[in-house]
A and B are shown apart, each in its own frame.
Chain A
Amino acid sequence: MKRVIALVALTAAVITTTTACGGATDSADPGRDKGSTEFTYWSMWQEKEPQAQVIKAAADSFTRDTGVKVTIQWHGRDVLKKLAPTLRGKAAADLVDQSINQLGSTLASSRRAADLGSVYDMTVTGEQQKVSEVIPAKYHPHLKDRDGRFYLVPYAVASEALWFNAARFPEFANAAPTNWEGFVAALDAVKAKGIAPLALDADNVGAAEYWPLIALIRAVGPDGMRKLAADQDGAAWDDPRVADAAGKLEHLVKGGYFAAGYDAGQYPAQQNAWAQGKAALILQGSWVPSESKSYAAPGFSYSSFQLPAINGGYDGVSANFFGFAIPRTARHGDAAGKFIAYFLNKSRLEGIATKAESITPREDIPAPASLESLQQALRDGQVYPTAAGIGLLYGKWKSSVLQPGAQALMQGRLGSQAWVAEMKRKTVEYWKAEG
């Protein structure tokens, strides 16, 4: 037995020492040309998805034009979970993509993303403009980490909106409600016609979260939202505007505005039912057209409007980004950086709009028809980072406090007063435990 114990101890010791050493300190500067002739790209897409096809085509022509070999691994949505353990030494990927929330919480918040300032200074391959010029300046502040350094170059801009079939509900396309009272009146009108006003897959924590999150931003603004997230003594949650916004949501939940079974389905059941015309509106991300199009009723014409401000509060448009980042410890960050500047060329980036049906950050690339309304809103409106940036700043609070709370409110498990009290208590407790 003694020998066994010794062996176990030895193995443990080996593991401990191997874990303890090797924190990489050198950092990749994509701007410093190391003359790399290859790089490895880990993708959030699976090979046959349209986004993958567009990027693959660009990578192939990049290799033809520059001789730089591109190794692509199609990892799917969990790409960063797989990348994270390799970040201790040399990162396994030189280029990686995901949403800003994921890149932010895995790479940027722990300072494991390379500074892409030099990539923003590069000239887009085959064009006169710099990367920083084709990506609108209004997005720049939202693409930087806490230290003010760029860590993400977006190739797609997403947002959240209330989506509807413009062919069936032209009233929303002609005159979307501009305040909460008008919004509820419009919902009542839909209800009077015997159609469920709202669809929601409440089992999807992300979808359920949109309602309280965006309603609170509509009431107290992005700054106010960040204060709620960071509230150590609970004072921010005592703001009467918070209780008011929660009360408005409770009214929707208890008032039967959501389609039958919204709290007992499985995502994307409600979304598909909505596409088939069983509900009028759905509050979702701008991927909803491509997710639901194969189920859409004949003649379905996708359009959207923004959830209106509450009591003259904030009515900006959220910007959510999908794009490239380079791990700080990447071996061939220079080649990856060049590829980013290459991909942002209008003729290549266009595929993201035409084939993958997304909005690109370039304003000179028209959005696909289903997303026109949203591209216009992004162009004309004030822009705030998705979820007011709390995914990046207070991601753990968002996952462990806001998301379960949001779901409880939207499933009607908590009334609005009880909900505000609960959120306040849990937020205070959270910061006490973190502190």
Chain B
Amino acid sequence: MATPLETRQRRIFGLFVALPLLVYLALFIGPTVYSIYAGFTNWDGIDPPRWRGTRNYTRLVSDPQFITSFGNTLLILFGVGVAVFVLSFSFMLILRDMRGKGFVRGVIFMPHIVSPIVLAIFWGFLLRHDGLLNAAIVKMGGQPVAWIGPKSAFLMIMVALVWTSTGFYVAILMAGVDRIPKYFYEDAELAGASAWQRLRHVTLPLSWDVVGVAAVLWTISSIKIFEFIYAFGAAGGYMPPDYEWNTAVFVYGVTVGGANPLNRFGYASASAVLMLFLVTALVALLRRAMRREAVQF
């Protein structure tokens, strides 16, 4: 039997959902579905696509540029991801009872509110051979370091991503931890629990669902990282060097990017669809892994 409340809510359901759903279907899901179809075609973006079956996919897995890009995407997803989480969690623990935590949380969140392009411009000026860091090193009598040479450029991109992402996740984790009632800690302290035990038995289990949400958000957003890498690496109208590509840059690079655009929209769609599968699979896995007995309080 439906309660009166449920009946009423059912009545407004359609009305409340219809408009956003319509906009979303027409301008987001529709184009996505079309791209899935385009992944099986040869399409230059102008003429109608021509069907070519699964050949885009078989070519992708043997394309060294895609393999590099895919590897870099995984490096960001896991390498940067782990670093961001270790750092955010540590910061959160330190910040919890630190003076000026509001200020700190506010400042480290700042990279999240400006355009990645702006951050990339700064990062370039910091690390290039004649940049800020080397100028300081030289002034102190050292030798300039090739920070963004071919061997370390991608590592530096990863460091930058850790820098720009940490603040956001600190804010999320702190938001979760702030909701844990104070008396849990007071009780734990009275029972003689050490700092480590309080972390292990109070903080972690009670902020577990927030950690889960943060992990999902990271998985989703890390795969879409594009502007920072592009603005950091691209020069003179050309694409960034091949060793700096991730799969989002790949999609751009094989379509409209560079001085001689390749216009391989079908191919790019196929690679994007692969990434979509990866995200979906990872998020499903994460949700399963994080689904523990929810602790209500």
Q: Does chain A touch chain B in the assembled complex, meaning CB atoms less than 8 Å apart?
A: yes
- Which A residues have a C-beta under 8 Å from some C-beta of B? 4, 7-9, 11-12, 14-16, 19-20, 23, 77, 80-81, 84-85, 87-88, 99, 101-102, 105-106, 110, 112, 201, 203-207, 260-269, 273, 391, 395-396, 398-400, 403-404, 407-408, 411, 413, 426, 433
Contacting A263 at CB < 8 Å: which of B25, B34, B146? B146
Establish whether residues A396 and B46, one from each chain, have CB atoms under 8 Å apart when the complex forms.
Answer: no
Q: Please measure, in the bound complex, the distance between the C-alpha atom of A77 and the C-alpha atom of B234, giving whole angstroms.
A: 14
Q: Mark each residue of chain B from 221 to 256: 1 if its CB lies under 8 Å from any CB of chain A, else 0.
A: 000000000000101111111100000000000001
Q: Please measure, in the bound complex, the distance between the C-alpha atom of A190 and the C-alpha atom of B34, giving whole angstroms.
A: 59
Apart from A11-B33, A261-B129, A403-B239: 4 A-B pairs, beta carbons within 8 A: A7-B25, A16-B34, A204-B236, A260-B144
Does B71 have its Cβ within 8 Å of any Cβ on chain A?
Answer: no
Enumerate 28 A-B pairs (CB-CB under 8 Å) in ascending A order.
Answer: A4-B21, A8-B29, A8-B33, A12-B30, A16-B34, A19-B49, A77-B237, A88-B46, A101-B259, A110-B46, A203-B235, A205-B258, A206-B238, A261-B130, A261-B146, A264-B129, A265-B130, A266-B148, A267-B235, A268-B235, A269-B129, A396-B262, A399-B239, A399-B261, A404-B65, A404-B242, A411-B149, A426-B64
Establish whether residues B29 and A263, one from each chain, have CB atoms under 8 Å apart when the complex forms.
Answer: no
Q: Please measure, in the bound complex, the distance between the C-alpha atom of A260 and the C-alpha atom of B21, giving whole angstroms.
A: 57
Query: A11-B30, A266-B128, A273-B130 given as contacts; is B260 within 8 A of A433 (CB)?
Result: no
Establish whether residues B235 and A105, one from each chain, have CB atoms under 8 Å apart when the complex forms.
Answer: no
Q: Please measure, in the bound complex, the distance between the C-alpha atom of A99 and the C-alpha atom of B147, giving whole angstroms.
A: 33
Establish whether residues A395 and B260, one from each chain, have CB atoms under 8 Å apart when the complex forms.
Answer: yes
Q: Contacts of A266 on B, CB cut-off 8 Å? A: 124, 128, 148, 235
Establish whether residues A203 and B233, one from each chain, have CB atoms under 8 Å apart when the complex forms.
Answer: yes
Establish whether residues B65 and A85, one from each chain, have CB atoms under 8 Å apart when the complex forms.
Answer: no
Query: A12-B37, A84-B46, A101-B260 given as contacts; is B150 within 8 A of A263 (CB)?
Result: yes
Using CB atoms, name the residue of chain B closest to A80.
Answer: B261
Contacting B260 at CB < 8 Å: which of A20, A23, A110, A399? A399
Does B31 have its Cβ within 8 Å of any Cβ on chain A?
Answer: yes
Q: Chain A nearest CB: distance from B79 CB in Å?
A: 21
Using CB atoms, name the residue of chain B closest to A271.
Answer: B236
Does B112 have its Cβ within 8 Å of any Cβ on chain A?
Answer: no
Contacting A11 at CB < 8 Å: which of B26, B150, B233, B262? B26
Q: Contacts of A23 on B, CB cut-off 8 Å? A: 47-48
Q: Contacts of A8 on B, CB cut-off 8 Å? A: 25, 29-30, 33
Q: Among the interface residues A7, A20, A391, which one has the most CB atoms of the partner chain B within 10 A? A: A7
Q: How many residues does chain B have at the interface if contact means C-beta atoms less than 8 Å apart?
A: 47
Does B45 have its Cβ within 8 Å of any Cβ on chain A?
Answer: yes
- Which B residues have a C-beta under 8 Å from some C-beta of A? 21, 25-26, 29-31, 33-34, 37, 44-49, 59, 63-65, 124, 128-130, 134, 144, 146-150, 153, 233, 235-242, 256, 258-263
Q: Chain A nearest CB: distance from B248 CB in Å?
A: 17
Q: Contacts of A112 on B, CB cut-off 8 Å? A: 46
Q: Contacts of B30 on A, CB cut-off 8 Å? A: 8, 11-12, 14-15
Q: Contacts of B239 on A, CB cut-off 8 Å? A: 205, 399, 403
Establish whether residues B124 and A399, one from each chain, have CB atoms under 8 Å apart when the complex forms.
Answer: no
Q: Please measure, in the bound complex, the distance between the C-alpha atom of A391 and the C-alpha atom of B201, giving whole angstroms.
A: 64
Q: Contacts of A268 on B, CB cut-off 8 Å? A: 235-236
Contacting A12 at CB < 8 Å: which of B34, B258, B263? B34
Q: Please measure, in the bound complex, the distance between the C-alpha atom of A19 and the C-alpha atom of B37, giving whole angstroms.
A: 13
Contacting A102 at CB < 8 Å: which of B45, B124, B147, B259? B259
Contacting B237 at CB < 8 Å: which of A9, A203, A206? A206
Q: Please measure, in the bound complex, the distance between the C-alpha atom of A268 and the C-alpha atom of B235, giving whole angstroms.
A: 8
Query: A110-B46, A263-B149, A264-B147 given as contacts; is B261 within 8 A of A105 (CB)?
Result: yes
Using CB atoms, name the residue of chain B closest to A203.
Answer: B235
Q: Contacts of A102 on B, CB cut-off 8 Å? A: 259-260
Q: Please measure, in the bound complex, the distance between the C-alpha atom of A285 and the C-alpha atom of B287, giving whole angstroms.
A: 54
Establish whether residues A267 and B258, one from each chain, have CB atoms under 8 Å apart when the complex forms.
Answer: no
Establish whether residues A205 and B235, one from each chain, have CB atoms under 8 Å apart when the complex forms.
Answer: yes
Instruction: Give 7 nearest A-B pairs by CB, closest first.
Output: A261-B129, A11-B30, A264-B146, A267-B235, A204-B235, A395-B260, A264-B149
Q: Chain B nearest CB: distance from A143 CB in Å?
A: 18
Establish whether residues A391 and B260, one from each chain, have CB atoms under 8 Å apart when the complex forms.
Answer: yes
Establish whether residues B241 and A205, one from each chain, have CB atoms under 8 Å apart when the complex forms.
Answer: yes
Q: Contacts of A20 on B, CB cut-off 8 Å? A: 48
Q: Contacts of B233 on A, CB cut-off 8 Å? A: 203
Q: Please measure, in the bound complex, the distance between the C-alpha atom of A407 and the C-alpha atom of B241, giving whole angstroms.
A: 8
Establish whether residues A269 and B48, one from each chain, have CB atoms under 8 Å apart when the complex forms.
Answer: no
Q: Contacts of A262 on B, CB cut-off 8 Å? A: 129
Establish whether residues B34 and A264, one from each chain, have CB atoms under 8 Å apart when the complex forms.
Answer: no
Establish whether residues B128 and A12, one from each chain, have CB atoms under 8 Å apart when the complex forms.
Answer: no
Establish whether residues A84 and B45, one from each chain, have CB atoms under 8 Å apart when the complex forms.
Answer: yes
Establish whether residues A201 and B260, one from each chain, have CB atoms under 8 Å apart when the complex forms.
Answer: no
Establish whether residues A269 and B238, one from each chain, have CB atoms under 8 Å apart when the complex forms.
Answer: no
Q: Please measure, in the bound complex, the distance between the C-alpha atom of A105 and the C-alpha atom of B29, giving whole angstroms.
A: 31
Using CB atoms, name the residue of chain B closest to A413.
Answer: B150
Q: Chain A nearest CB: distance from B42 CB in Å?
A: 11
Using CB atoms, name the residue of chain A closest to B264.
Answer: A396
Q: Please measure, in the bound complex, the distance between the C-alpha atom of A408 and the C-alpha atom of B33, giving whole angstroms.
A: 38
Q: Please measure, in the bound complex, the distance between the C-alpha atom of A316 and the C-alpha atom of B30, giving whole angstroms.
A: 53
Q: Contacts of A88 on B, CB cut-off 8 Å? A: 46-47
Establish whether residues B260 and A269, one from each chain, have CB atoms under 8 Å apart when the complex forms.
Answer: no
